[in-house]
């Protein structure tokens, strides 16, 4: 028995020594195996890209078609608001000081992309009313709904604070040269008797005069205090129902913002992001990819080859725009085919070096000169908003109610062919507004857009090609003279030397013409992020009254 006891004691002693040496119980061993060493955990934290991304701060800024809109957006950013907040504030502000271009009686489209996230699109353009298109071509306005949804999804600031700058401007603003020009030139088509604020005692306001829009200020207060419901279901809706032919309570109450995936495609090592159909984002990408295959990066910006290839690339893309693009809620649009680089490389081979591509005998749309306004915003987190708003033609339909002008967007159902753009209740028309975002592998690095009607796509093609494809700085790309092709004529801001003019006419261009108006080639509003320094660059497009500003968070 003594021997047996000694053996048990020895075994127990050995076990005790084993656990002491091991430094833990079997249960503690299991826990240690599942927990990483503290040093490894610290390394993992340091390597966490999301943590690094959240600590990165960017310059913030606003580019818009009027300095007052830039100021409104910058004030929001300086107070800690998001890019979406600033865009909403700038959009309302510019609708007051440029009532001929955009406003709560119209609509628009916006792209938003955060760093490291997928882009999103908001189509808040006008739709066909329940009873069809009225003689005025007024559609159900979407501007207020769009601003409301964008703020709900991406906003940080109080809604009321975003509308206050516009209310202040409505109470008193200075008439700019461009606004005075539009007031004076549009007198015959506007209801002057309703517009004492623009035509006091029947005489148009001039540059530097004070503009007081008391009725608009009251309408904006209702939207500020009661939100979008004030416009679509409240007193404003009732006024529109009673005063504007074609608009009714049901059409207003049933309005919904369109939500579709943005068009995307590769160009010059970047991802180009465009607005979804029925806008031409996919067609701008298509033109860029055609140009890349044509070796556009090797061509000098003002060369015959650059001009010819760009004109023909847009001619090809425009044909697809007119035959294939429509409202995706009503037809299937082959976006992936339009933005497929291999398919577009094949199209590039169709462009002859020494002649023009033939034009479909059915003439493209050519109506009144349309007008829009564009806003680009970048916040301190690097989020980019690219937003184009419009009431379509200058002063829209010319009809006025509750302090604002109503759109004539329904006229855009004249664009296109083959039944791709046929009106029916709730449908959006094809049009040329084209906000864009350019992104690298980390996220957005540029927002860009412009007014300019049917020239918008080819203008953006030129500037993006110059900046992303040819390495031009943003200011140089924006300042470079622009051109457009109309039938077989080239409309050019600056004529080349006589020898180059001869080269272009030898290719087949029927003539070189000057633009018919100073506003013909729009006003690019763009901001670009320097990925290495997080600094922001912009450009002032002197073709209109656009401006931009940026700052760094302290």
At 519, is the pLDDT very low, low, confident or very high (cuts 50, 70, 90)? very high
Q: 475, 63 in Cβ contact below 8 A? A: no
pLDDT (0 to 100) of residue 359: 79
Question: Distance between CA atoms of 224 and 312, rounded to whole angstroms?
Answer: 47
- Per-state percent for the chain, helix, strand, coil, to nearest 5: 40, 15, 40
At 190, is the pLDDT very low, low, confident or very high (cuts 50, 70, 90)? very high
β-pairing, 511-513 vs 489-492, is parallel
At 476, is the pLDDT very low, low, confident or very high (cuts 50, 70, 90)? very high
| Enclosing H/E stretch for 217 | helix 214-226
Between 498-507 and 304-324, two packed helices, what is the crossing angle to 10 degrees?
40
pLDDT (0 to 100) of residue 6: 37
pLDDT (0 to 100) of residue 479: 97
Q: 425, 129 in Cβ contact below 8 A? A: yes
Residue 470: count of CB within 10 angstroms of its CB: 18
Measured CA distances, 163 to 110, 143, 218, 256 (Å): 18, 13, 12, 21
Question: Distance between CA atoms of 142 and 128, rounded to whole angstroms?
Answer: 11
> The sheet that has 120-123: what strands, in order across it?
120-123, 107-113, 384-393, 370-378, 60-64, 547-551
Beta-carbon contacts of 198 under 8 Å, excluding residues fewer than 6 positions away, are: 183, 190, 192, 204, 205, 211
Least Cα distance to 339 among 277, 400, 393 occurs for 277
Question: Distance between CA atoms of 338 and 283, rounded to whole angstroms?
Answer: 7
Question: Distance between CA atoms of 418 and 465, rounded to whole angstroms?
Answer: 31
The pLDDT of residue 83 is above 70: yes
Average pLDDT over residues 134-156: 98
At 382, is the pLDDT very low, low, confident or very high (cuts 50, 70, 90)? very high
State the chain's mean pLDDT as an integer: 90
pLDDT (0 to 100) of residue 29: 37
Beta-carbon contacts of 445 under 8 Å, excluding residues fewer than 6 positions away, are: 270, 438, 439, 528, 529, 531
Question: Distance between CA atoms of 247 and 225, rounded to whole angstroms?
Answer: 23
| Enclosing H/E stretch for 506 | helix 498-507
Q: 87, 110 in Cβ contact below 8 A? A: yes
The pLDDT of residue 46 is above 80: no
The pLDDT of residue 248 is above 60: yes
Q: What is the DSSP string of 411-449?
A: GGGGS-STTTT---TTPPPP-----EEEE-SSSEEEEEE
The pLDDT of residue 184 is above 90: yes
pLDDT (0 to 100) of residue 482: 98
pLDDT (0 to 100) of residue 370: 64
Residue 338 tokens read as 């339009």
Average pLDDT over residues 164-191: 97
Measured CA distances, 61 to 75, 97, 288, 378 (Å): 10, 20, 27, 5
Least Cα distance to 266 among 129, 459, 469, 112 occurs for 469
At 17, is the pLDDT very low, low, confident or very high (cuts 50, 70, 90)? very low
Q: Which CATH number fits domain 65-172+212-552: 3.40.50.970, 3.30.70.260, 3.40.50.300, 3.60.20.40?
A: 3.60.20.40
pLDDT digits (tens, 9 = 90+) for 111-129: 999 999 999 999 999 999 9
Strand, helix or coil for residue 243: helix
Question: Distance between CA atoms of 323 and 333, rounded to whole angstroms?
Answer: 10
Average pLDDT over residues 333-348: 97
Q: 414, 114 in Cβ contact below 8 A? A: no
Q: 372, 391 in Cβ contact below 8 A? A: no
Placement of tokens 């082959």 in the chain: 334
pLDDT (0 to 100) of residue 238: 98
pLDDT (0 to 100) of residue 243: 97
Catalytic positions, written as ranges = 372
The pLDDT of residue 33 is above 90: no
The pLDDT of residue 492 is above 70: yes
Average pLDDT over residues 296-317: 96
Placement of tokens 């959240």 in the chain: 54
The partner residues of 390 in beta bridges, in order of sequence, read: 107
Question: Distance between CA atoms of 328 and 334, rounded to whole angstroms?
Answer: 10
pTM over 0.85: yes
| Enclosing H/E stretch for 123 | strand 120-123
At 481, is the pLDDT very low, low, confident or very high (cuts 50, 70, 90)? very high
Between 159-171 and 214-226, two packed helices, what is the crossing angle to 10 degrees?
170
Average pLDDT over residues 306-319: 97
Question: Distance between CA atoms of 529 and 494, rounded to whole angstroms?
Answer: 30
Q: 373, 541 in Cβ contact below 8 A? A: no
Lowest mean pLDDT among 30-39, 135-144, 513-522: 30-39
Q: 184, 205 in Cβ contact below 8 A? A: no
Lowest mean pLDDT among 48-62, 146-160, 271-285: 48-62
Average pLDDT over residues 257-268: 98
Lowest mean pLDDT among 39-53, 83-97, 417-431, 463-477: 39-53
Question: Distance between CA atoms of 231 and 105, rounded to whole angstroms?
Answer: 10
């Amino acid at each position: 028995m003594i021997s047996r006891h000694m053996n048990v004691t020895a075994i127990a002693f050995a076990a005790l020594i084993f656990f002491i040496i091991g430094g833990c119980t079997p249960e503690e061993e299991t826990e240690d195996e599942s927990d990483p060493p503290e040093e490894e955990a610290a390394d993992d934290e340091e390597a966490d890209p999301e943590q690094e991304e959240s600590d990165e701060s960017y310059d913030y800024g606003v580019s818009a078609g009027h300095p007052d809109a830039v100021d409104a957006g910058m004030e929001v950013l300086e107070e800690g608001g998001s890019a979406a907040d600033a865009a909403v504030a700038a959009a309302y502000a510019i609708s007051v000081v440029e009532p001929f271009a955009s406003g709560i009686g119209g609509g628009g489209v916006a792209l938003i992309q955060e760093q490291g996230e997928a882009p999103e699109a908001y189509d808040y353009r006008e739709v066909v009313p329940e009873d069809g298109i009225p003689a005025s071509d007024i559609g159900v306005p979407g501007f207020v709904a769009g601003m409301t949804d964008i703020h709900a999804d991406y906003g940080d600031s109080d809604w009321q604070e975003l509308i206050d700058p516009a209310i202040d401007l409505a109470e008193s603003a200075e008439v700019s040269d461009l606004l005075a020009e539009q007031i004076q030139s549009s007198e015959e088509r506007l209801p002057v008797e309703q517009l004492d604020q623009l035509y006091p005692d029947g005489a148009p306001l001039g540059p530097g005069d004070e503009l007081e829009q008391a009725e608009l200020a009251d309408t904006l207060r209702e939207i500020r205090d009661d939100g979008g419901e004030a416009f679509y279901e409240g007193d404003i809706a009732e006024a529109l129902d009673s005063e504007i032919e074609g608009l009714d309570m049901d059409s207003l109450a049933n309005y919904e913002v369109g939500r579709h995936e943005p068009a995307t495609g590769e160009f010059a090592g970047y991802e180009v992001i465009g607005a979804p159909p029925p806008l031409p984002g996919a067609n701008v990408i298509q033109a860029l990819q055609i140009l890349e295959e044509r070796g556009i990066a090797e061509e000098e910006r003002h060369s015959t080859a650059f001009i010819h290839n760009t004109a023909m690339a847009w001619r090809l893309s425009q044909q697809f725009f007119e035959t294939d693009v429509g409202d995706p809620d009503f037809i299937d649009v082959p976006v992936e085919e339009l933005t497929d680089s291999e398919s577009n490389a094949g199209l590039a081979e169709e462009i002859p070096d020494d002649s023009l591509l033939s034009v479909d005998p059915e003439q493209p749309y050519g109506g009144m000169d349309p007008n829009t306004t564009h806003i680009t915003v970048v916040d301190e987190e690097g989020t980019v908003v690219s937003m184009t708003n419009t009431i379509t033609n200058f002063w829209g339909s010319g009809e006025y109610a509750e302090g604002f002008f109503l759109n004539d967007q329904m006229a855009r159902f004249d664009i296109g062919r083959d039944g791709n753009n046929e009106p029916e209740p709730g449908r959006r028309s094809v049009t040329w507004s084209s906000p864009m975002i350019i992104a690298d592998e980390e996220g957005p690095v540029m927002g860009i857009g412009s007014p300019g009607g049917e020239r918008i796509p080819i203008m953006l093609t030129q500037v993006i090609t110059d900046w992303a494809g040819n390495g031009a700085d943003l200011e140089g790309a924006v300042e470079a003279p622009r051109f457009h092709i109309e039938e077989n004529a080239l409309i050019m801001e600056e004529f080349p030397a006589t020898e180059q003019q001869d080269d272009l006419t030898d290719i087949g261009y029927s003539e070189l013409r000057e633009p018919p108006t100073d506003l013909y080639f729009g006003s690019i509003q763009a901001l670009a992020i320097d990925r290495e320094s997080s600094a922001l660059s912009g450009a002032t497009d002197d073709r209109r009254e656009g401006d931009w500003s940026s700052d760094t968070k302290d």
